[in-house]
Amino acid sequence: QVQLVESGGGLVQAGGSLRLSCAASGRTFSSYSMGWFRQAPGKEREFVGGITWGAESPYYDDSVLGRFTISRDNAKNTVYLQMNSLKREDTAVYYCAISTSYASRYPPDFGSWGQGTQVTVSS
């Protein structure tokens, strides 16, 4: 079982940047695809972006395309979410999750989840 811990959330002004990290325990991190999701109050959890196990193909929801970048360092068992040009509507709890499915966007395909980190974007 892989355990995930997110960090890097906080309060930022609109237009600013944050970098989230997701540290994974376990020896098979490199075999999994990783996803980032977010959930705002009163809304369903939504897909933000993901990266395949070989890191050859990051993929994103249209709402963050061009602003967010996902990368991974398998040697450090860590995946990153660089968020630039943040908007108020990006405010949410952000979760990382792990999947054996290739390039999935669907929460049921992700078997392990972190506890989440709050991102708040002020105007």
Section 38-49 average pLDDT: 97
pLDDT digits 0-9 by tens, 64-120: 999 999 998 888 889 999 999 999 999 999 999 999 888 899 999 998 999 999 999
Give strand pairing partners of 96. 36
Q: Is residue 62 packed enough to be buried (19+ CB in 10 Å), middle (13-18) or exposed (0-12)?
A: exposed
